[in-house]
Structure formats: structure tokens, C-alpha cells
Amino acid sequence: MIESIFQYEFLQNAFVSGLIIGIIAPLLGVFIVVRRLSLIADALSHVTLAGIAGSLYLSQSIGALALLNPLYLGIVASVTGSLFIERLRRLYKHYEELAIPIIMSAGLGFGAIFISLAEGFSSDLFSYLFGSVSAVSRQDLWIVISISIVVVLFLGLFFKELFVLSFDEEYAKASGLPAKWIHMLFMVVTALVIAASMRIVGILLVSSLMTLPVAAAMRISKSFKQALILSVIFGELAVVIGLVSAFYLDLAPGGTIVVTSIIILLLAILAKKVGRKGAVAT
């Protein structure tokens, strides 16, 4: 595959995009898991599906939009969904978790409508649902790079604040941190990462890349910093092994990446059990 990467632009796009996503998705995933917001990634991925399906339908119906990259409307839909989730969480103060199924249902509903209205883009939609090595364009790559810069800047500027909010939100609010705005920015950045990841991992599987490496890291890490580092390492391993497997076996990369992540998680669980038995034996 290494020789092919130098020969074919689409493989370069897929591999570089995958490496970047393998870093930024688990990085945000650590904060998502710690804050018990794992299902938000699923909700936003379904909203992104509605945006993608809507864009594909519009490109069929309106000739002027035929060349529009569906990723753009997917990003708009994902960010809009994240803002609505925040609004609903404040509206239902005592039942904040209701916001997630409401937005997820809306995403599925609009997605189903656009898919039923349009005809003839089943292959395009399949690549968005489960990822595709050959479908990542150079334009998609630049979008992923741009979003990764936004993620790095956000984490660099607000890392301490996110850390405090993740472990003690009440203290963060009492100490004067603008918790509302930081959380809203976090949701928007999460939406951007989900939209950027769908070309490689697929809309229906992107949440797995944000949670499975983190779940594996949390089994064997001894600190938050260690969990961050291990999450990125496991995410990169899953992406590299998954992309190589998808290339040689002609499979959807989303599936191979997720299955690899599950194997890594199982190995981490096994390593933890073996470590405990070894500690008891000594």
C-alpha cells in the first residue's frame, strides 16, 4: 500500500485525512466520555446524515448545485444540531438528556425524507454512511486539515477550562468560568469533527472512533494525561490498520476501523485483568 500511496492521489487524501482524524476524534472523545455525553456524537452524526442526504437531493434537483460538495451542508447541519442540543438542554434543565433523542430523531426523520425523495445516489450515500477510501477528494482533505486546526486551537486555548468543567462543573461555574459559552464552543467543535470524519469512518460509525479508543485507554491509564495520549495512540492504530485492511480486502474503511478499535478495547480489558491477577499473585 505504501507504493500505491505515492502513486494515487485518492489514497494520499484518505491516508492523511485518516491520520488527522485519528488524532482529533479521540482527543475530543476523552472530554465527551468524561462528561458522559457519548450519545451526543450519535445524535450529531444522524443530523449530519440529514444534511448529506439533503445536499445530494438538492444537487439532483438544482443544476447549479450539482458540483456542491455535500460535506458543506453536512457541516452546517451538524453545527446547527449541536446548537439546538445546547438550547434544548437549557430548556429542559431537569431532563437535559431529552435533548439528545429529540435531535437524533429529527436527524433521522429529515434524512429519511431526503433519501426517499431522491433517486440514484445510493452508491454516494453508502460511502458517506460507512466511509470510502476512494471517495476522499483533495477538497475533503483540506476541509479536514482546516477543522483540525480549529480543534487544536480550541483545545490549546481552553484545555484547563474543559478539564475543570469535565470533572467539577459546579466548581467551574462558581469560580466564574463562562461554562455556558465554553460548552457551546465544545459542542460546535465536536460537530465539526463528526462532519469531517464521515468520509473516512462513515456517518453511522464516526461516534465509535470518538469513544472506543477512549474506552480502551481508560482501562489501562492511570491519569487523565495518560488517557489522552493512549486514546490518540489507539485511535491512530485503529485508523492505520483499518485503512490498510480496507484497501487490501476491498471493504468499507468505517467497518474495519471500528472492528480494529473493538479488538484494541478487548486487548486493553484483557491486559487489565492479567495485570490484576499478576498483582494478586505477588
How many CB atoms within 10 Å of residue 72? 15
Predicted pLDDT at 119: 66
Q: What is the pLDDT confidence band of residue 1, given thresholds at 50, 70 and 90?
A: low
Regarding predicted confidence, which is higher, 97 or 163? 163
pLDDT at 240 over 60: yes
Q: What is the pLDDT confidence band of residue 88, given thresholds at 50, 70 and 90?
A: confident
- Cα distance between residue 95 and residue 248, in whole Å: 47
Q: Which amino acid is at 141?
A: L
Percent of the residues in the chain that have a pLDDT greater than 70, as a whole number: 90
Name the residue among 219, 236, 218, 235 with its Cα closest to residue 227.
218
The secondary structure of 92-145, three-state, reads CCCCHHHHHHHHHHHHHHHHHHHHHHCCCCHHHHHHHHHCCCCCCCHHHHHHHH
Could you tell me if 10 and 18 are in contact, meaning their C-beta atoms sit under 8 angstroms apart? no
Predicted pLDDT at 200: 79
Q: Which amino acid is at 197?
A: S
- Cα distance between residue 115 and residue 50, in whole Å: 9
pLDDT at 107 over 80: yes
Predicted pLDDT at 122: 60
Predicted pLDDT at 216: 93
Q: What is the pLDDT confidence band of residue 195, given thresholds at 50, 70 and 90?
A: confident
Q: What is the pLDDT confidence band of residue 279, given thresholds at 50, 70 and 90?
A: low
Instruction: Look at the alpha carbons of 60, 63, 68, 72 in this order and tell me if their dihedral is positive or negative.
Output: negative
Predicted pLDDT at 278: 64
pLDDT at 54 over 80: yes
Instruction: Compute the average pLDDT of residues 102-117.
Output: 88
pLDDT at 109 over 70: yes
Angle between helices 70-91 and 38-61 (to 10 degrees): 140
Percent of the residues in the chain that have a pLDDT greater than 90, as a whole number: 21
Q: How far is CA 211 from CA 7, 45, 61, 179, 194, in A?
A: 33, 13, 37, 23, 12
Side-chain-side CA neighbours of 143 within 13 Å: the count stands at 22
Could you tell me if 230 and 217 are in contact, meaning their C-beta atoms sit under 8 angstroms apart? yes
Predicted pLDDT at 67: 73
b/e per residue 249-282 (b: at least 16 CB within 10 A): eebbbbbbbbbbbeebbeebeeeeeeeeeeeeee
Q: Compute the radius of gyration of the chain from its Cα atoms.
A: 19
Instruction: Compute the average pLDDT of residues 212-228.
Output: 91
